[in-house]
Structure formats: structure tokens, C-alpha cells
Homo-oligomer: A and B are copies of this chain.
Amino acid sequence: MADPGEDGGKPLSEHDLIARYFAPLAAGFPGAAGLKDDAAVIAPPPGADLVVTTDALIAGVHFFPDDAPADIAWKALAVNVSDLAAKGATPLAYSLALAMPGPPSPAFLGGFAAGLGAAQQRFAIALSGGDTCASPVLMIAITAFGIVPQGRILRRGGAQPGDLLYVTGAIGDAALGLKLRRGDADAAGWPLSAAERDALIARYLRPEPRTSLAPALLAHASAAIDVSDGLAIDCRRLCAASGVAACIEAGAVPLSAAAASLAALPEALRLILTGGDDYEILAAIPPGRAAAFEADSRAAGVAASRIGRVAAAGGPRLTILGEGGTPLDMGSQGFDHFSG
């Protein structure tokens, strides 16, 4: 894969680099002014609030330095769009801070811009502005903008005792894929076909945020969060913000065929429930809205599985029940950047 600094040709100026690789990504957004100024104009439509989220990805921390530039770019945009989706917001635009070991090669820049372009098209979002600079390590910080009807942003903190917990898609694939991508010894013996391995790794490299679910969430959910650091820790965060507790049935957590074939291994099950990078959405749905939420999710083309229930605070913040109703011990329950 292309290293940002490997090309020996004459380095592009910052101006030419932006004009060649990034201005085309801003062509669909008039407020970007072709990336020819230091600032963009973002005007949410009347009656809409702007929802703003920021996530940074650092080489060696959030991705492998030898990941394909297109995959790195896709993931950097996807993780931000996932936060928008969980807040019920429709993607609008994003600002990109890109710090690269320099001078960056055409292979790196071309791949990176192509990955951004593919992600933009998938998520219906446009580049509005940003900054490029030199850096000892590749770093991408994105601030993404979405819109919701005024006052309607969906927060983490609205879950009520009695609400049902739903999660989208399938959980755990990315955490399993990360172990395969890293070549961990214990993953070498997993009974998976080559196609299954590739599929799990792809789920780690190219998350698919659930943008199409935003309207159903706005219509029915009392709280939501995207599952980025692990189902267990993100469920605990939703509960803590809401002042409630939750119980999840491990057997109800939706799994891909590949993940299901590993779930009998205790360490794999723990990884599925606590590993990160799913970029699915966990939502609390009042029981009276459950049927409508399920129908609207289906109509949006997103599988939503009921995995548990919200309870009053008091006991443990989160209980995960295994086979026969026995609580599972999840250990540290997820990823934390500084104490994990």
C-alpha cells in the first residue's frame, strides 16, 4: 500500500494539492466556494438544526499505517457519519483536517481522495472545507454536519425504564475482523472460510453507518448511540446518560454467519459483545412504538433486532445474560483511549 511519503516526484504545493485532489470533492457544495478560501458557509434549511460531530483517526491507533489509503479515508468519514445517524441527523457536509507525512505521494493522495469520494457518494455528504499540513504521522480529523428538524436531535439520555433495546445489523464482525487483520495467533485457528475471513476484515475496514435509519429513529426512539467502542460499553454510556440500567440477552444479539460460527468460543463471544468498530446503532424504543419502529426499519432496509430491555437504575448498570439466563462477566467491557 502507498506510504504517504514514498513518491520521489516534485512535491505539489498545498494549493495544487487541494485543487487537484480535494476541490472535486467539494464541487457539490456551493458553500465550500471551491475550497479557494479559508472558510465555508453552512446554512441549515429554515426549521432545521445543525448537528455537529468530530472524530479523529490516527495511524497506528485507529488504523494500520499500511491500510489502503481509500479504506482509511472511507473509515474516517464513516465513523463521523455514524454519529450523525445515531442522533437522527441527515448528512450534509464535512470539514477535513488532514495531516500527512510529507510530501505525500500521488498514489496516497489519489487513493485517499477516491475513498472519500466513494464514501461521500454512499452517505450523501460533501466536503465543505478543511486544512492540509505536514505531520510526522498520518492523522485525519473530520467534523461532520447533519440536519434534524429544530429541537429534535436524538440524545443518549432519553431512555426510560421499560423501553426495548434494539441494535442494527450484526455485532462483533469488526472486532473479529481486527484480530484477523492483525494476524493474532489465537485467531489463526478460527474455523472460517477464506471468504468469511475477508468479509470480517472488510467490516472492520469499511464500516457502513446506518444513515437510512435516521428518520425511523427520530420518529420512534427515546435514546440512541452508535456502537463504536463496543456494544457493552456503549450500552452502559446510553444507560448512564439516561439514569437507567439495562439487560441484554447475549443470545438475541444479531450475528453474521461467520461470527455465529465462533460465538461458542468464550473469548470470541466476549470480543463480539465488547469489541468496537461496529458502527451499528443501539436504540431505546418505547414498547408502544416497537412495531412501528420495526416496520420503518425494514422499510429503510436496515435490520433492527430486539436484544434487551431498559430497567430502573439500582443494580448493575448493564447485565448481559448468557445461555440459561446466567449473567456473563464482560471484564472491562470496551475500549477506552486512556485507561482501556
A interface residue numbers (CB < 8 A to B): 10-15, 17, 33, 36-44, 49-56, 58, 60-62, 83-84, 86-87, 89, 95-97, 99, 102-104, 128-137, 139, 141, 143, 145-146, 150, 153, 155-157, 225-226, 237, 241, 336-339
- The reply to whether B58 and A50 contact each other, CB–CB distance below 8 Å, is no
Determine the main DSSP class of A at the interface with B: mixed
- In the complex the two chains form, what is the Cα distance from A242 to B62 in whole Å? 41
- The reply to whether B153 and A338 contact each other, CB–CB distance below 8 Å, is no
- The reply to whether A50 and B41 contact each other, CB–CB distance below 8 Å, is yes
Residues of B within 8 A of A84 (CB): 39
Q: Name which of A87, A131, A136 has the most chain B CB atoms within 10 A of its CB.
A: A131
Instruction: State the number of copies, please.
Output: 2
- The reply to whether A53 and B129 contact each other, CB–CB distance below 8 Å, is yes
- The reply to whether A54 and B95 contact each other, CB–CB distance below 8 Å, is yes
- In the complex the two chains form, what is the Cα distance from A130 to B141 in whole Å? 10
Take A37-B241, A41-B50, A50-B41 as given contacts and tell me if A102 and B338 are in contact as well, using a CB distance cutoff of 8 Å.
yes
| Option from B37, B51, B128, B226 in Cβ contact (under 8 Å) with A40 | B51
Residues of B within 8 A of A49 (CB): 41-43
- The reply to whether B338 and A83 contact each other, CB–CB distance below 8 Å, is no
- The reply to whether A51 and B39 contact each other, CB–CB distance below 8 Å, is yes
